[in-house]
Structure 1
């Protein structure tokens, strides 16, 4: 069998379909047309002489041989990327790229100032940011070599190198007509409001329920909402109260009331890289810039409890 006609674009198409589960999402990811993806897979199957994908009404699925081939294809693309990084090593900091994976609140409130400073120091280095809805997507992007640096709230495993950049306190948001005096809210007062929380499988929901369980409180959610802005909007319309991290809540509507929890809760935000990855000078320069800004207190910090020792730091992990 001759493989001279197998192209990298065909392998990228196969890997993208395996990741996204259908041709249309893979095409969007690769920024090509769906017909180009279909042609790439058809040509690949012709060259290899095997069927790698099973097509159906509910998407595309890897065949058994497709499963084995896509594993090798990922390794080939990773090695090709390593070739590029070796070239960047030779060029030093006169070029290169840093790919960042983040969740919304960090991408909105923390990363902009870091990017501005990084571009001031290294104007020749390109930086891209991809926003993910959950920490699992960020870690998977690091594993697959789709990102060099990730920002996460989950306590990472040994396959990642991570360090803390800031802590973000959780607050209670109350509707405009709430009558709760003082800076903090009692458990009895909180129980008077329908609770609006993220879905059960969301990291923030896991963190909040773990926190409530540790303190012996059983508060059920009346609404389960994924988007932070929707959570805040529902509170602003008087539909209930929510427990949310300060950075995730911003910008706050002027009519929403904010109170501290009876026992402070915070999430730890970390920067993570894949431990076994070969990082370019550009990535190391980004990490060093971030570290220096963290140590200098130049990153945005949400208000903290007056007594940090009283804050309850909860670490959640995915099952």
Structure 2
């Protein structure tokens, strides 16, 4: 008998079906079935009556679940004492991030972290990449989400890769699924007034011996998407920065793929606190 089997047992009882228990535990239905079958085999008694409407406890299962809850409560107390020792309780985790990562990557991960470590206060600052770096240097943030690479003063780990996509206004006929540099040369472009993204796009064009006409230079990515939707030009943005993309905008890949690498950074000169280590582990999972 192990803790996972008891967690599965409690989840099936709480949610009524193996499939709902699997969703709650973020695992597969087959893993839930195997855990229950293994537990029943070890105990030598059936714990559930299975039917089309779900799974309900047998009489002995109703007695076993009482003790299973007690064992899970004890495990939670053990985790509390261990995490208390690690400095996770009553601590604070400060995260700084540029906008698109803060919008699309962090909320789900902060929710997962808070669910696991509810006594850690999480603070989020939304800054531009230069501001993220400065917040780390000045000790105002513990972790920064930032495009990579960065200087050696930061310890970094890659989280994900965000493809630069071409945004095109609706037209008849629609643009081909696979764009060529020649096809792109027919458009004037709305550039993002953000040095790192704009430099990456310009350097990518130059690398392949291409040039493009600039119609506008805009500070806000949402404004760029709206302008493309109104037929004022094309744009190249990291996909996360472009979201949400309206239906009246075509999305295509560049003739040669270009990615923005997004990573988590900490100050190399500062040993990471337990909460920082745990959050970085979660981001990498």
TM-score, normalization by structure 2: 0.68
Kindly indicate whether the alpha-carbon contact (under 8 Å) linking 2:192 and 2:237 is maintained by their aligned counterparts in 1. no
How many residues are aligned here? 203
User: Per-residue deviation at 1:287?
Assistant: 1.4
Aligned to 1:211: 204
User: Per-residue deviation at 1:153?
Assistant: 0.8
User: Which of the numbers 140, 149, 153 marks the counterpart of 1:146?
Assistant: 140
Kindly indicate whether the alpha-carbon contact (under 8 Å) linking 1:195 and 1:241 is maintained by their aligned counterparts in 2. yes
Aligned to 2:97: 102
Aligned to 1:246: 239
What secondary structure, in the 3-state scheme, does the structure 1 residue paired with 2:145 have? strand
User: Which of the numbers 143, 153, 157 marks the counterpart of 1:163?
Assistant: 157
Aligned to 2:87: 92
**Inter-partner Cα distance in structure 2 for 1:94 and 1:139:** 27
* Deviation sequence 1:118-146 (CA, Å, 0-9, x none): 011100001111111x3111111111111
User: Which of the numbers 263, 266, 271 marks the counterpart of 1:270?
Assistant: 263
User: Per-residue deviation at 1:278?
Assistant: 3.9
**Inter-partner Cα distance in structure 2 for 1:260 and 1:155:** 23
Kindly indicate whether the alpha-carbon contact (under 8 Å) linking 2:144 and 2:264 is maintained by their aligned counterparts in 1. yes
User: Per-residue deviation at 1:181?
Assistant: 3.7
**Inter-partner Cα distance in structure 2 for 1:245 and 1:178:** 25
Kindly indicate whether the alpha-carbon contact (under 8 Å) linking 1:166 and 1:269 is maintained by their aligned counterparts in 2. yes
User: Per-residue deviation at 1:248?
Assistant: 0.8
Kindly indicate whether the alpha-carbon contact (under 8 Å) linking 2:178 and 2:252 is maintained by their aligned counterparts in 1. yes
Aligned to 2:195: 202
**Inter-partner Cα distance in structure 2 for 1:140 and 1:178:** 47
User: Per-residue deviation at 1:177?
Assistant: 2.1
The structure with the largest alpha-carbon Rg is: 2
CA 1:89 to 1:135, structure 2 compared with 1: closer, same or farther past 3 Å?
Answer: farther
* Deviation sequence 1:276-312 (CA, Å, 0-9, x none): 12432222221122222xxxxxxxxxxxxxxxxxxxx
User: Per-residue deviation at 1:91?
Assistant: 6.7
Kindly indicate whether the alpha-carbon contact (under 8 Å) linking 2:221 and 2:241 is maintained by their aligned counterparts in 1. yes
Kindly indicate whether the alpha-carbon contact (under 8 Å) linking 1:149 and 1:273 is maintained by their aligned counterparts in 2. yes
**Inter-partner Cα distance in structure 1 for 2:86 and 2:164:** 44
User: Per-residue deviation at 1:179?
Assistant: 3.4
User: Which of the numbers 174, 182, 188 marks the counterpart of 1:188?
Assistant: 182
* Deviation sequence 1:249-297 (CA, Å, 0-9, x none): 11011111111111111111111000112432222221122222xxxxx
TM-score, normalization by structure 1: 0.61
Aligned to 2:274: 281
* Deviation sequence 1:185-223 (CA, Å, 0-9, x none): 222221222200112x52100110111111111113210
